[in-house]
Amino acid sequence: MDLKSKIEKVLKKFPYNISFEIRDNIVFLYGEVESYQDWVEIGLAVGKIKGVEGVVNKIKWKGYPEEKIRKREERRRKLYEENKDKIIGEYDVVIIGGGVIGTIIARELSKYKLKIALLEKGSDVSLGASKANNGMIHPGVAPPKNTLKRKLNVKGNAMYDRLCEELGVRFKRVGSLWLITPRTLQKYRKYLPAPLYKFVSAYVFPYIVKLKGIRNGVKGIKVIRGKKIFEYEPKATRDAWAALYVPSTGILDPYELVVALAENAQANGVEIHLNTEVVGFIKQEDKVKGVVTTKGTFLTRYVVNAAGVYADEIAELAGAREYTIHPRKGVILLFDKALKNWVRHCVAELRFPAPKHSKGGGINPSIHGNILWGPTAVEIPDKDDTSVHREEIYEVLERYKNILPEFPTNKLIRYFAGVRAPTFTEDFIIRPAKWVRNFLHVAGIQSPGLASAPAIAEYAIEQLKKMGLKLEPNPNFNPRREPIPTINEMSLEELNAKIKEDPRWGNIICTCEMVSEMEIVEAIKRGAKTLDAIKRRTRAGMGTCQGSYCTLKIAEILSRELGVPLSEIVKENNGKLFDGAVRGEKL
């Protein structure tokens, strides 16, 4: 059956009059549907068809925010006209997006003699999905076969020890423990007598998962049973029949990583332009000549689109729209460090079939000793919707309570949401644009995007090379970056020596996380200009009291060091104050 007939067959299953066209295996869908959910379902159904390389879903749903989109377009066009003639400079590569993907590609490219600019619309790096995730370096068992996710997850995971050592980023391979319980194969329970159900769950199913992991290239997977499970995870549910232990799972602080990548890329010559929103492109035939931003135009030979949930709109502006992002929100709960001994591994309860479009989530320790529960997976129409509702909190608590039944959930100190950026083909899209010769898509980077990031960067650079980018090694590349010293990790002797150097090392500003004044000053020296930027770099305000006692003190230090009135210190930059988008300015 040809592609057209396959799509017709799939669309017949929906009670709508949907039309479509195909261009180079990219399917464009048109029509109107009753609900947003139907919009998602149709896109996904078409995205699953073999041979479809992208779905651009132009169907409208009831309540489609026409007016909002029109206003956004109007604003963008106005900014484009105002800025297109201000030339900022000429570059070999312009990277759009300062998340983990944009910054890791920037750092990787800085190994070569290239003039590179990274453009980020926010006031800091790591403000998108890269700041709101579980910080898990997944082992790579979950990605399905014939996907880029599968190819890059295991590889990316293995690259983290060296990367984190070079960048001074904390990283620990804690391992995963996936529990198999009476609920794991619940859907099939009614078909099997009880003893057989238990046998299949405990003795057959774990080996199927293990085999999948082995096929994906994951090493060291073990099936364990009985008391052994509780030696690994003493507080796990007592009804676990078996468990899979996967040693290569790691944890890290995602924004510590992104800040480190950006600092190292910058030290190796990459220009990082914050508060610089891309609003359009100047094209010459089938190539981008200039990237137009709210600060002016960056002339360039190559463009890398790593704009997360906005990658589809950026591609559209360049005439390279090959996919639609359907944002998927995930809510995560964060528990006090006091509970740090409650969990040793990234623990989950396996379910088959797995929840739709999510690796299932679970409970994992953070690198700093907090415990995370989540995430959820909900399709949402608004890409910037990071709201958390009471029902979502209860949903997380309900969903994962079986893993650690005695866990004191009253020690919740914060909740937050991140938005994943899946396309309808549900795989990473890392390839040259079909209709714009010098434009590289690095899109659809949903989970395991963080785990795969180092391999994604290498793969993206291979693509740029194929597109004609000349890569001459940069002899001055320095892979190393010194982290901000933290008094929390110093011995008493080291701390004494530091205090002798400067007494501000002994002035504790955040008592929950034990952060000294000098750490905050150092973060400001490295470019932090807002309360949240300080928080991401030093953890001041991240503890039990969530900044109740230290926020004002930090604001005063910011005011003093930056030489601005206290009233101008903001939590996160609103784009008006502290504009960091001056060329080559420190982060």
Which pair of structure tokens corresponds to residue 572?
A: 């996160």
Paired residues of 54 in beta bridges: 26
> Which window, 82-90, 115-123, 389-397, 482-490, contacts ligand FAD (CB under 6 A)?
115-123
CB-based contact 86:279 (threshold 8 Å) = no
Residue 524 interacts with ligand FAD (CB under 6 A): yes or no: no
Which residue number, 133 or 216, has a Cβ lying nearer to ligand FAD? 133
Angle between helix axes 517-525 and 551-562 (nearest 10 degrees) is 40
Token pair of 164 as six digits: 């984190």
Q: Identify whether 138 is a catalytic site residue.
A: yes
- 68: Cα within 13 Å, side-chain hemisphere: 6
Stretch that binds ligand FAD, among 56-64, 125-133, 202-210, 389-397 (CB under 6 A): 125-133
* Residue 175 interacts with ligand FAD (CB under 6 A): yes or no: no
- CB of 282 or CB of 495, closer to ligand FAD: 282
Kindly indicate which of the ranges 90-98, 401-409, 430-438, 530-538 contains the residues binding ligand FAD, using the contact rule CB under 6 A: 90-98
Which positions from 199 to 238 touch ligand FAD by CB under 6 A, shown as an x/- string? ----------------------------------------
Q: Which stretch binds ligand FAD (CB under 6 A): 41-49, 117-125, 164-172, 235-243?
A: 117-125
Please identify which residue in the block is written with the tokens 């000053």: 521
- Does 522 sit near ligand FAD (CB under 6 A)? no
Q: Is the peptide bond before 144 cis (omega within 30 degrees of 0)?
A: no
Count of residues for the chain?
587
Choice from 106, 136, 261, 320 touching ligand FAD (CB under 6 A): 136
Structure tokens at 550: 């230290």
**Alpha carbon 487 to its chain's center:** 29
Q: Which listed residue (138, 326, 345, 441) is catalytic?
A: 138
Residue 129 contacts ligand FAD per CB under 6 A = yes
DSSP state of 99: S
Comparing CA positions, the residue from 332, 404, 342 lying closest to residue 372 is 332
Nearest-approach distance from CB 418 to ligand FAD, in angstroms: 3
How many CA within 13 A on the CB side of residue 269?
Answer: 17
Joined tokens for residue 480:
């190393």
CA distance 321 to 185: 40
CB distance 387 to 349 below 8 Å? no
Between 304 and 512, whose beta carbon lies closer to ligand FAD?
A: 304
Show the tokens assigned to 496: 């004494």
Question: Left if phi > 0, otherwise alpha if psi is -120 to 50, otherwise beta: which for 538?
Answer: alpha
Q: Is 140 in the site for ligand FAD (CB under 6 A)?
A: no
Contacting residue, 56, 114, 118, 119, with ligand FAD by CB under 6 A = 119
Question: Any contact of residue 446 with ligand FAD (CB under 6 A)?
Answer: yes
Rule CB under 6 A: say whether 132 interacts with ligand FAD: yes
CB of 540 to ligand FAD, least distance (A): 22
Report the C-alpha gap between 369 and 340 in whole angstroms: 5
Grouping H, G, I as helix, E, B as strand and the rest as coil, residue 306 is coil
Which residue in the shown chain puts its C-beta closest to ligand FAD? 449
Residue 250 makes contact with ligand FAD by CB under 6 A: no
43 versus 330: smaller Cβ distance to ligand FAD = 330
The two structure tokens encoding residue 56: 């651009």
Choose between 418 and 432: whose C-beta lies nearer to ligand FAD.
418
Among 44, 246, 307, 347, binds ligand FAD (CB under 6 A): 307
Q: Which is nearer to ligand FAD, 200 or 378 (CB)?
A: 378
Contacts of 82 (CB under 8 A, 6+ apart): none
Q: Is 445 near ligand FAD (CB under 6 A)?
A: yes
Residues 448-477 that bind ligand FAD (CB under 6 A): 448-451
Max Cα distance, the chain (Å): 77
Residues making contact with ligand FAD (CB under 6 A) = 96-102, 119-122, 127-130, 132-136, 138, 277-278, 306-308, 310, 314, 330, 332, 375, 418-420, 445-451
Q: Which residues are catalytic?
A: 138
